[in-house]
Amino acid sequence: MAFDARSLTDLNHRDAFIGRHIGPDTRAIATMLDTLGESSIASLIDRTIPSDIRLKGELPLAGPRSEQETLEQLRAMMSQNRVARSHIGAGYYDTIMPAVIARNVLENPGWYTAYTPYQPEIAQGRLEGLLNFQQMVMDLTGMSVANASLLDEATAAAEAMTLCRRANRKAKSRRFFVARDVFPQTLDVLRTRAGWQDIELIVDDAERVGDYQVFGALLQYPGDDGRIIDLHPLIDSARHNGAMVAVAADLLGLTLLTPPGEMGADIVLGSAQRFGIPMGFGGPHAAYLAVSNNLKRSIPGRVIGVSRDRHGEVALRMAMQTREQHIRREKATSNICTAQALLANLAGFYAVYHGAEGLFTIASRIHRLTTLLTEGLAPLGVRPDNEWFFDTLTFSGLDHNTIESRAVADNRNLRYHDDGRIGISLDETTTAEDVAALIRILSGHDSEIDIAALDRRVIETGEAHIPLPCQRQSNYLTHPVFQRYRSETEMLRYLKRLENRDLSLTHAMIPLGSCTMKLNATTEMAPLSWPECARIHPFAPRDQVEGYHRLIEDLIAQLASITGYDTVSMQPNSGAQGEYAGLVAIRRYQQSQGEGHRDICLIPGSAHGTNPASAAMAQMKVVVVECDIRGNIDMDDLRRKAAEYSDRISAIMLTYPSTHGVFEADIQEACRIVHEQGGQVYIDGANMNAQTGLCRPGDYGGDVSHLNLHKTFCIPHGGGGPGMGPIGVKAHLAPYLPGHVYGGQKQFTPGTAVSAAAYGSALILPISWAYITMMGARGLREASEVAILGANYIAERLQDYYPVLYRGDKGTVAHECIIDIRPIKNACSIDEEDIAKRLMDYGFHAPTMSFPVAGTMMVEPTESESLLELDRFCDAMIAIREEIRRIENEEWPRDNNPLVNAPHTQRDLYSEEWPHTYSRELAAFPSNAVKQAKFWPSVNRVDNVHGDRNLICSCPSIDEYRD
Ligand SMILES: *Cc1c(COP(=O)(O)O)cnc(C)c1O
């Protein structure tokens, strides 16, 4: 058999990745089809997707390409980016991610493939990381409570504005003050949000904040031009007038500056980017938001809190989930769902590794270099406008063209303001040589500059460039976690210890319905670490970012073809942001048609909570459309409501296949009914994993959809973010896509941006591009087919044990299925939570719980799970059902059995007492699979209620961890 008769083309094996991405091989697929009594995948798909919406033929995509070819192509493309020394600032700074963090967290699937910590017993590692992040933010800002990240600084500012609006009930004004020196991109996102919340923005000098009657105000600290002013009197005067005050602050600067919390601020927000996170042409980065104690119950985003487990031990979990869109829908505090968990963890670890002394040294060095820059320039007659500064100087009266050509010749980017001023920001990577070069560029002086001599002079005079009231006196990062892990050995072990507490895709399938936890291939992740992708400022000149533009144009074309839309906006950096951007596009389009009065959004009761939350943010009234007993949209109710609200209907938001896991046959009809009334159709594209290559929202009636690239297109979930939520639109909506003050895809229209950066979180776009390229049209279609096959296989295997709640007309489910736990609960009071916790003993993460139907579980296997893994999961579910039977038969008491006591920890097993009628072996080693490889939950079942009643969102004192 030494001779292989295949041709050279076939031997190239260019489509090998398809078989690596898709779990089941041909034989496994045959077995699965057999189980279903189905003759072929084609016939299964024919039964599942209505024939009138099926795509004819294959998508016109290039590929498939091998992993090697794809990386080479990406390298060639991204090498057209040019890494210049960045002094642009404006919220983005070059920084150094410590290598131990890069290798063990950023480049480690144990961290990046985890999901949002909904199951805290198997997520204590990242919960601790996020708690560190919150503690760091609280310490640096001087505030009482911080959340565990928002999407970017600009949207955090917008959240602060709406938080002021909600919380400041006394204020009658609908005006919000914005200091003139907030970052331009922040102001623009505020304009967008304010426009749809009936808020009027007042933009004026920070010093005049007390002159206006407003419900809230935003100040920037230091200002956009680098200036530092004492905020205390300004905050006092604003508060005296009944306004709440938010401050956007530079987190690294706060190591030297009096924190806004000590100056009376109600809210402090900003970006944690310069804590080791690459600029990445705009993101992803974690934004932070911290509030005073009285606002803690209305803070937007996720907050990690300290609670206790069943045995009274300290245990962490997400607190106050009841504020969130999942539960409160259009009344939620915000629409945020996916945030920036991985980036928050990375930034928190940066602080853990450096500690207070390290951060102080980094900030002091930046400040010293900035001081040396001014000292070196002064004798040459060049002086900045700002007397006080941390790291940024702004110069007036210099000749822009001369300076720019000198800077370009030295491969440096400076900030060129529209009004001719020139800005320079220094950062962690800046050296003395950089400062000497900058002195030469700004002054035209070209002899040697003796930085060491300058430094000695500065030390002798001991003059500070921070105003006295703004010089920080208080301590920060005093908690032991910020002191213990300064050696690389200790840090490595700390990161590993935390990682080991978390269940991720490196252990088992994570069958979370609606979340699409599929393979995040190593090849797809590789470009994130390339400097030509990572070290690019989002506002770098166009000729330095050719690679990114090529990539983005290509990805837009791929996604447009996959969805059937005319164009795609890459700006939204989460699905929920995409919803908001899409609804705003609809409203702006309707305004342009003289239909601006249309303000009703029809949303089925089964919709994801972000849908109504986003509609509320776009100033729409939500009218719920009922579902029938089969889980489908009640078409009669839709017709009734469409007729009733007729010319008030702005849009309908539909998810397809529905959140009930079914391809509804009437989808085209539903779209038609709304179009007939002059409304637009928003198709929530979170379920694209069932459709790619098979049908397209643009074909069956959608006007706009968001895609969750972090679901269908392989960006890892990172334990709750990052994400990307680009939106595809039909041509008539294209003029109303978001613009950006610094370029972007289209002409700038103020007040349309939804993100701080023009292309959202551009650094992670190569992941989706690589996936689509390696799969090609055939691979993408097969992925959808196998995802549907897997869900049907699970439904088939489980249905005799757990009823499958909804199926389509012809008896199949889409790419996920809902199993009903309510009959079990009625029979013996075991509920879906008990099953979820018991699954941990079997080494699994639970499916999605109680969404979209309370008392159920939604299972989504994805195409990436092998038949072996699907069977292992089904076997565990079936074994648990048999355990439940023993409770039903009263063999085990209802209050003492392996389910209600789950999960079982090592502590349970080694304790002297074992007050149970089942064995230790059954408790922790209930299957052969776990006997071979056991994943231990690190705490027992967590008490959510206790944690919410006694809200603690800071690192517990170390004593609490002791006996
Ligand atoms: C995940 C999801 C969303 C929200 O997306 P995020 O990226 O988390 O903001 C919206 N709709 C559905 C159906 C989803 O599954």
Q: Which CATH number covers residue 717? A: 3.40.640.10
**Whether residue 419 sits in one domain with residue 543:** no
**Whether residue 680 sits in one domain with residue 540:** yes
* Domain finish residue from 470, 489, 511: 470
**Angle of the 124-141 helix axis to the 341-377 helix axis, nearest 10:** 30
The closest residue, in CA terms, to atom 3 on ligand 1 is: 575
Length of the chain: 963
pLDDT at residue 327, as a whole number:
87
What residue has token string 């252990």? 507
Residue 418 is encoded by which pair of tokens?
């529209």
* pLDDT tops 70 at residue 943: yes
Ligand 1: residue of 337, 579, 711, 815 to mutate (most ligand atoms within 8 A of CB) is 337
Residues whose beta carbon lies within 6 Å of some atom of ligand 1: 337-338, 514, 574-576, 608, 610, 655, 659, 684, 686, 708, 723, 725
Q: How far is the CA of 575 from the centre of ligand 1 (A)?
A: 5
Ligand 1: residue of 326, 571, 574, 608 to mutate (most ligand atoms within 8 A of CB) is 608
**Whether residue 566 sits in one domain with residue 426:** no
DSSP H helices, 168-258, are: 184-195, 232-240
**Whether residue 728 sits in one domain with residue 636:** yes
Q: How many CA atoms lie within 13 A of 238 on its CB side?
A: 31
* Domain finish residue from 439, 470, 501: 470
Q: Omega before 64 cis (within 30°)?
A: yes
Nearest-5° Cα angle at 250, 245 to 256: 105
Cα 278 to Cα 273: distance, rounded to the nearest angstrom: 7
Query: Which ligand 1 atom lies nearest to the CA of residue 576?
Result: 9
**Whether residue 548 sits in one domain with residue 425:** no
Whether residue 842 lies inside any domain: the answer is no
Whether residue 869 lies inside any domain: the answer is no
Ligand 1: residue of 118, 335, 338 to mutate (most ligand atoms within 8 A of CB) is 338
Domain residue limits at 738: 528-773
Query: Which ligand 1 atom lies nearest to the CA of residue 725?
Result: 7
The closest residue, in CA terms, to atom 14 on ligand 1 is: 686
Q: How far is the CA of 11 from the centre of ligand 1 (A)?
A: 41
Q: Which CATH number covers residue 403? A: 3.90.1150.10
Whether residue 403 lies inside any domain: the answer is yes
Whether residue 588 lies inside any domain: the answer is yes
pLDDT tier at 963 (50, 70, 90 boundaries)? very low
* Domain finish residue from 452, 470, 488: 470
Whether residue 687 lies inside any domain: the answer is yes
Q: What DSSP string runs through 373-397?
A: HHHHHGGGT---S-SS-SSEEEE-S
Ligand 1: residue of 342, 610, 689 to mutate (most ligand atoms within 8 A of CB) is 610
Q: How far is the CA of 347 from the centre of ligand 1 (A)?
A: 25
pLDDT at residue 44, as a whole number:
98
Question: End-to-end CA distance of the chain, in Å?
Answer: 66
**Whether residue 580 sits in one domain with residue 703:** yes
**Whether residue 542 sits in one domain with residue 456:** no
Query: Which ligand 1 atom lies nearest to the CA of residue 335?
Result: 9
pLDDT at residue 962, as a whole number:
53
What pLDDT, in 10s, does the model give residues 162-171?
999 999 999 9
pLDDT tier at 958 (50, 70, 90 boundaries)? low
What pLDDT, in 10s, does the model give residues 389-431?
999 999 999 999 999 999 999 999 999 999 999 999 999 999 9
Query: CB within 8 A of 344, min separation 6: which ones?
Result: 129, 130, 133, 148, 149, 272, 286, 288
At 176, which helix (H) or strand (E)?
strand 175-179
**Whether residue 674 sits in one domain with residue 560:** yes
pLDDT at residue 746, as a whole number:
66
Q: How far is the CA of 238 from the centre of ligand 1 (A)?
A: 38
The closest residue, in CA terms, to atom 2 on ligand 1 is: 686
Q: Omega before 803 cis (within 30°)?
A: no
Mean pLDDT of 718-737: 98
**Whether residue 657 sits in one domain with residue 553:** yes
Q: How far is the CA of 545 from the centre of ligand 1 (A)?
A: 30
Cα 706 to Cα 726: distance, rounded to the nearest angstrom: 6
Q: How far is the CA of 900 from the centre of ligand 1 (A)?
A: 31
Whether residue 380 lies inside any domain: the answer is yes
Q: How far is the CA of 860 from the centre of ligand 1 (A)?
A: 14
Residue 551's identity, in one-letter code, is L
**Whether residue 563 sits in one domain with residue 464:** no
Rg value, the chain, Cα: 28
Cα 379 to Cα 828: distance, rounded to the nearest angstrom: 84
Total domains present in the chain: 2
Q: How far is the CA of 579 from the centre of ligand 1 (A)?
A: 9
Residue 603 is encoded by which pair of tokens?
């949303």
pLDDT at residue 959, as a whole number:
66
Mean pLDDT of 844-850: 96
pLDDT tier at 748 (50, 70, 90 boundaries)? confident
Cβ-count burial 543-562 (b if 16+ within 10 Å, e if not): ebbebbbbbbebbbebbbbb
**Whether residue 450 sits in one domain with residue 538:** no
- Comparing C-alpha atoms, which of 252, 318, 317 is closest to residue 472? 252
Q: How far is the CA of 259 from the centre of ligand 1 (A)?
A: 35
Q: How far is the CA of 683 from the centre of ligand 1 (A)?
A: 12
What residue has token string 């005093």? 478
Whether residue 505 lies inside any domain: the answer is no
At 696, which helix (H) or strand (E)?
none
What pLDDT, in 10s, does the model give residues 104-147?
999 999 999 999 999 999 999 999 999 999 999 999 999 999 99
**Whether residue 645 sits in one domain with residue 547:** yes
What does pLDDT average to over the chain? 96
Phi-psi region of 862 (alpha: psi -120 to 50; beta: other; left: phi over 0): left
Residue 724 is encoded by which pair of tokens?
């990307």
Whether residue 644 lies inside any domain: the answer is yes
Mean pLDDT of 443-454: 92
Lowest mean pLDDT among 72-81, 328-337, 771-780: 328-337
What pLDDT, in 10s, does the model give residues 6-23?
898 888 888 999 999 999
Q: How far is the CA of 211 from the centre of ligand 1 (A)?
A: 42
* pLDDT tops 70 at residue 818: yes
